A and B are shown apart, each in its own frame.
Chain A
Amino acid sequence: MAAASCGREQGASMAALARLQERLEGLREEYFLTNRAIDEDRKRKYKAAVKIQRWFRACRVQVCLRHLTKMVILIQKWWRGYLRRKHFREIVEIQKTWRGYYVRKYIHNFYALKKYLKAVSMNNEFVRHELQEYTEMKENEEKMKDLEKKDKEKKYQARKMHYLLSTKQIPGIYNSPLRKSPDPMELLLQKSKPLTHRKQPVKSPFADELYGWPTCKEPPAFVTSLPLLHADRRKPQGPFRDPAEVLRQRYKPLEPTLRARESMYSAPGKAREPTRREEWRNPIHDNEFLPFSSYHKNYEKYEPSLFKSDKYGQEAYGTKYFREVYPKKWIADKDFETLFPSIALFEKFGKTYSSTGQIV
């Protein structure tokens, strides 16, 4: 049985061997191909492995670095803040002192304010004083005016009552014999001149109206009657006309023509303006209307100028004088030449004294 089995096994192994040998030729090729494939992959896989490892290591290092930078930043932050705050406090200290000084010196300067207020009160005193003087002056003026008015009144009354003056025989009422000295009214009467009987000059009827009009208290006094001025003046002696007639003629109111009464600027006046202008612009003939028929003969004579005329007639001037304008009138056939007159002194040159004994 073992032999059978060995035999069977040998047979199987022989079969296997045969099979193996069949595959042997292909085995080498297969082996080579596999190795080649693996070889090719190897490089790629190696590179990939390196890449991955590199990446991972970088991450680790980065984490480390990040941590470190954070710490550094923290420290720097804190340090710089501290520095600046210290500096800030120093700066504010300076600014504080400066601002205090500036405000006290210029803006809220206490002493300047005091000086200013003192100046203001002095100025006020001055102004008050001036104004007081001004009021006093005004009051004085008023008083003076009143006094003058009263004085004038008194003088006028004295002039009106001059007849109360005392005469040699009869003492006036202001000069009573029981008094020691005459009343001041008496003295005033002595000084005053009596009023004449002439009536007060009547103001012309127009002068009042100018200033009475704003309130229009009086109606316009239109001239229905002659002014009272000279109504009953007697005719002076001599060959004079009746005074009433004369006055009528003198005060005859102006009766201008319609044309003159209208103002230039009124509507019809303005309407005439274009016709006036046209007439001036388009005259039919240029000669003015002459008042007399022989006007031009007798009144429009030419008057020669005194400068160029003498007793023998008038020297011609103007076109008659300048010869070059009319060559036909020339006597010679050329124009005058301008000759300079000889200078006497220069003519004598070389001729005053004899030269070499020759007598000139």
Chain B
Amino acid sequence: MSQRQVLQGRLGRGPGPGPGQRGWGWGWGWGSGAGARPLTRRSPADPALPPAVFEQYQRARSQFAQAVADFAARPQSIDTLRSAGVVCLLRPLLLDVVPSIRQTAALALGRLADYDVELAEAVVKAGILPQLICSLPEENRYYKKAAAFVLRAIAKHSPQLAQAIVQSGALGMLVICLEDFDPGVKEGASWAFGYIARHNPELSQAVVDAGAVPLLVLCIQEPEIALKRIAASTLSDISKHSPELAQTVVAAGAIAYLAQMIPNPDAKLKRQVLSALSQIAKHSVDLAELVVEAEIFPVVLTCLKDSDEYVKKNGATLIREIAKHTPELSQLIVNSGGVAAVIDCIGSCRGTVRLPGIMTLGYVAAHSENLSMAVIVSKGIPPLCVCLIEEHEDHIKAAAAWALGQIGRHTAEHARHVAVANVLPTLLDIFVDTCSSEDLKVKAKKALKNILQKCTYLPALEPLLHEAPPSIMKYIIGQYSKVLPHDSKARRLFVTTGGLKKVQEIQAEPGSLLQEYINTINNCYPEEIVRYYSPGYSEMLLERVENYQPVL
């Protein structure tokens, strides 16, 4: 008797009869307990034993799932989990009877896969993906969210993992999630799509083929800000790879909605929207014109004054992508005052954020001399000079040098404006500097060459004459040889500032272009002056003094 009682006690026959007061979570679990076989011999007086075993098991499973989920949120415990082989343990829980255990298990797997590439690969190898997605359409929204989280955590690491996800047929399920009513589910699904489409054009194409783009455009119109952000970022990732993908996104009518969201006060949303529009506009003239027709000017210019750095950067990127295609688009930007806004933006930022703005100015100025003059008139040169001097990164300096070259290369007037701003010595310093990278040196040299070939403003050329290396010297001398024959005051200045002396000291190969220029310059002056300044003249005079026989 006592043994039986003890055994019964061990079964955990709890206090309180009846299922009603046990709490809600066991509502589903109860049904399975009804047919339990009691472990002890049932006496006729006893009612059927409560199926405490099943209750315990369920509790244990749910506790395990929750504990793993909690631990997986902490990076330091993930290694322990990994070595315990937690992925294989979580796999059967995904098919558990109780929905909440399924959700927690999916959440735990998602957190594990999120942490590390190897865990993500382990999750894929354990064959979890088919189980995850097989029952997805009938599940509730928490499970769908957790499943979308798992998929995106796996897809973000590498293209191969993303490919594995696509091959397991998850895209169709994700589309079903995108059609769901709950905004959280839609957000999870579009995030997963974004991470898949990010890697390469083939995966993007797979996302598009699954029919996600119209649904994403619908998501953009939803009122929830987080959903809008994610949908915009996914559209940006899809359209960045190729013109055809961008065309698909445009055909779904995305541009109008994206353009409407530009004035939205949320900074992160603006970042994504501007990035999406610039990825669309960058591929071809037609796409850029479509973006412009959505009347983004002058609203986009307010983004250039935003307090968030990345909003400014993305806004400048959008303007750059539009400006680079044709002179007409650049003209449009100039006419709407975009150049002024970009110049102010460059002046107010520091670092990589400035780069798209600098390139915009370069592209606008490169198209034609009128546009270049417009850039000059909008006071574009001083910020570019400041960039050249202040910035530490070589690629930003290279971009600034290139932009200045584009501005100054059209006519003498442009070159004069550039030279007056004291840009040429800075460019020369950069060119000569040993710690500049190759790319920077090449760009600085090209810019110098372009500007010098048109520059007739001699006071700016003069300091360069004394410091320039031979490769630059020929352009400088060439310019002098063009100007000096016609201008007498310049000739006088040339002599008094010591330029003629410097020219005599240059040794050029006879017959080369440099020699011709030097000859032209020498022909502008009388014989005596030229001889006077030629090197070694004083020795020659002294020699004559020595050899002179005085007439007594």
Q: Taking beta carbons and an 8 Å cutoff, which residues of A are in contact with B?
A: 113, 116-117, 120-121, 123-128, 131, 134-135, 138, 142, 209-211, 213-214, 216-217, 219-220, 222-226, 253, 255, 261-263, 265-267
Decide if B107 touches A219 in the complex (CB within 8 Å): yes
Q: How far is the CA of A263 from the CA of B181 in the complex (A)?
A: 13
Smallest distance from the beta carbon of A213 to chain B beta carbons, Å?
Answer: 5
Decide if A113 touches B373 in the complex (CB within 8 Å): yes
Smallest distance from the beta carbon of A278 to chain B beta carbons, Å?
Answer: 24
Q: Mark B354-392, 1 if CB is under 8 A from A, else 0.
A: 000000000000000010011001100000000000000
Q: Which residues of A contact B226 (CB under 8 A)?
A: 211, 214
Decide if B24 touches A127 in the complex (CB within 8 Å): no
Q: Mark B267-294, 1 if CB is under 8 A from A, else 0.
A: 0000000000000000000000000000
Smallest distance from the beta carbon of B334 to chain A beta carbons, Å?
Answer: 6
> In the complex where A116-B370, A124-B339, A265-B137 touch, is A219 in contact with B70 (Cβ < 8 A)?
yes
Decide if B111 touches A120 in the complex (CB within 8 Å): no
Q: Which of B198-206, B297-305, B509-517 contacts A (4 or more CB under 8 A)?
A: B297-305
> In the complex where A214-B187, A224-B25 touch, is A124 in contact with B378 (Cβ < 8 A)?
yes
> In the complex where A120-B335, A123-B337, A138-B307 touch, is A222 in contact with B100 (Cβ < 8 A)?
yes
Q: For residue A261, which residue of chain B has the nearest CB? A: B138
Q: Which residues of B contact A210 (CB under 8 A)?
A: 182-184
Q: How far is the CA of A219 from the CA of B103 in the complex (A)?
A: 9
Q: Which residue of the partner chain, among A131, A213, A219, A226, contacts B304 with CB atoms under 8 Å?
A: A131
Decide if B373 touches A117 in the complex (CB within 8 Å): yes
Within 8 A of A (CB), among B47-96: 66, 69-70, 73
Q: Which residue of the partner chain, among A116, A220, A263, A267, contacts B103 with CB atoms under 8 Å?
A: A220
Q: How far is the CA of A220 from the CA of B191 in the complex (A)?
A: 20
Q: Which residues of B contact A128 (CB under 8 A)?
A: 337, 340-341, 344
Q: Which residues of A contact B344 (CB under 8 A)?
A: 128, 131
Q: How far is the CA of A223 from the CA of B26 in the complex (A)?
A: 10
Decide if B334 touches A220 in the complex (CB within 8 Å): no
Smallest distance from the beta carbon of B25 to chain A beta carbons, Å?
Answer: 4
Q: Which residue of the partner chain, among B24, B111, B334, contacts A253 with CB atoms under 8 Å?
A: B24
Q: Does B27 touch A at the CB level, under 8 Å?
A: yes
Q: For residue A217, which residue of chain B has the nearest CB? A: B73
If over half of A's interface residues share one DSSP class (helix, strand or loop), that class is named, otherwise mixed; here it is: helix
Q: Does B188 touch A at the CB level, under 8 Å?
A: yes
Q: Which residues of A contact B307 (CB under 8 A)?
A: 138, 142
A-B contact count (CB 8 A): 109
Q: Which residues of A contact B305 (CB under 8 A)?
A: 131, 134-135, 138
Q: Which residues of B contact A124 (CB under 8 A)?
A: 337, 339-340, 377-378
New A-B pairs, 12, CB < 8 Å, besides A210-B182, A223-B24: A123-B336, A123-B337, A124-B378, A128-B337, A131-B301, A213-B187, A214-B187, A216-B107, A220-B103, A220-B146, A222-B25, A263-B138
Q: Which residues of A contact B23 (CB under 8 A)?
A: 224-225
Decide if A127 touches B377 in the complex (CB within 8 Å): no
Within 8 A of A (CB), among B123-142: 137-138, 142
Q: Does B145 touch A at the CB level, under 8 Å?
A: yes
Within 8 A of A (CB), among B204-249: 226, 230
Q: For residue B229, which residue of chain A has the nearest CB? A: A214
> In the complex where A120-B334, A127-B301, A219-B66 touch, is A214 in contact with B188 (Cβ < 8 A)?
yes
Q: Does B149 touch A at the CB level, under 8 Å?
A: yes
Q: Does B110 touch A at the CB level, under 8 Å?
A: yes
Q: Which residues of B contact A142 (CB under 8 A)?
A: 307
> In the complex where A127-B301, A266-B137 touch, is A219 in contact with B104 (Cβ < 8 A)?
yes
> In the complex where A223-B24, A253-B27, A266-B137 touch, is A216 in contact with B377 (Cβ < 8 A)?
no
Q: For residue B348, which residue of chain A has the nearest CB? A: A135
Decide if B378 touches A120 in the complex (CB within 8 Å): yes
Query: Sorted from nearest, which 4 A-B pairs have the closest CB atoms?
Result: A127-B337, A124-B340, A222-B100, A224-B25
Q: How far is the CA of A311 from the CA of B69 in the complex (A)?
A: 81
Q: Which residues of B contact A123 (CB under 8 A)?
A: 335-337, 340
> In the complex where A219-B104, A223-B24, A266-B137 touch, is A134 in contact with B302 (Cβ < 8 A)?
yes
Q: Which residues of B contact A117 (CB under 8 A)?
A: 373-374, 377
Q: How far is the CA of A108 from the CA of B104 in the complex (A)?
A: 73
Q: How far is the CA of A253 from the CA of B28 in the complex (A)?
A: 11
> In the complex where A121-B378, A124-B378 touch, is A220 in contact with B188 (Cβ < 8 A)?
no
Q: How far is the CA of A124 from the CA of B364 in the complex (A)?
A: 15
> In the complex where A113-B370, A120-B377, A128-B344 touch, is A220 in contact with B335 (Cβ < 8 A)?
no
Smallest distance from the beta carbon of A241 to chain B beta carbons, Å?
Answer: 14
Decide if A220 touches B104 in the complex (CB within 8 Å): yes
Q: Mark B179-195, 1 if CB is under 8 A from A, else 0.
A: 00011100110010000
Q: Which residue of the partner chain, among B142, B304, B339, B370, contacts A220 with CB atoms under 8 Å?
A: B142
Q: Which of B73, B146, B340 has the most CB of A within 10 A?
A: B340
Smallest distance from the beta carbon of B66 to chain A beta carbons, Å?
Answer: 6
Jot down 16 A-B pairs with beta carbons below 8 A, ordered by A. A120-B335, A120-B378, A210-B183, A211-B184, A213-B145, A214-B184, A216-B110, A216-B111, A216-B145, A216-B149, A220-B103, A220-B107, A222-B25, A253-B27, A265-B137, A267-B137
Q: How far is the CA of A186 from the CA of B245 in the complex (A)?
A: 65
Decide if A266 touches B340 in the complex (CB within 8 Å): no
Q: Which of B138, B304, B373 has the most CB of A within 10 A?
A: B138
Q: Which residues of B contact A134 (CB under 8 A)?
A: 302, 305
Q: Which residues of A contact B110 (CB under 8 A)?
A: 216
Q: Which residues of A contact B111 (CB under 8 A)?
A: 216
Q: Which of A138, A214, A267 has the most CB of B within 10 A?
A: A214
Smallest distance from the beta carbon of B514 to chain A beta carbons, Å?
Answer: 34
Q: For residue A133, which residue of chain B has the nearest CB? A: B305
Q: For residue B145, which residue of chain A has the nearest CB? A: A213
Q: How far is the CA of A124 from the CA of B341 in the complex (A)?
A: 8
Decide if A263 touches B137 in the complex (CB within 8 Å): yes
Within 8 A of A (CB), among B322-353: 334-341, 344
Q: Which residues of B contact A226 (CB under 8 A)?
A: 24
Q: Which residues of A contact B25 (CB under 8 A)?
A: 222-224
Decide if A213 touches B184 in the complex (CB within 8 Å): yes
Q: How far is the CA of A126 from the CA of B188 in the complex (A)?
A: 44
Decide if A213 touches B188 in the complex (CB within 8 Å): yes
Q: Which of B24, B70, B226, B373 has the most CB of A within 10 A?
A: B24
Smallest distance from the beta carbon of A266 to chain B beta carbons, Å?
Answer: 5
Q: Which residue of the partner chain, among A131, A213, A263, contacts B302 with CB atoms under 8 Å?
A: A131
Q: How far is the CA of A138 from the CA of B73 in the complex (A)?
A: 38
Q: How far is the CA of A253 from the CA of B23 in the complex (A)?
A: 11
Q: Which of B110, B111, B306, B337 has the most CB of A within 10 A?
A: B337
Q: How far is the CA of A353 from the CA of B517 in the complex (A)?
A: 137
Q: Which residue of the partner chain, among B73, B191, B340, B373, contacts A214 with CB atoms under 8 Å?
A: B191
Decide if A255 touches B27 in the complex (CB within 8 Å): yes
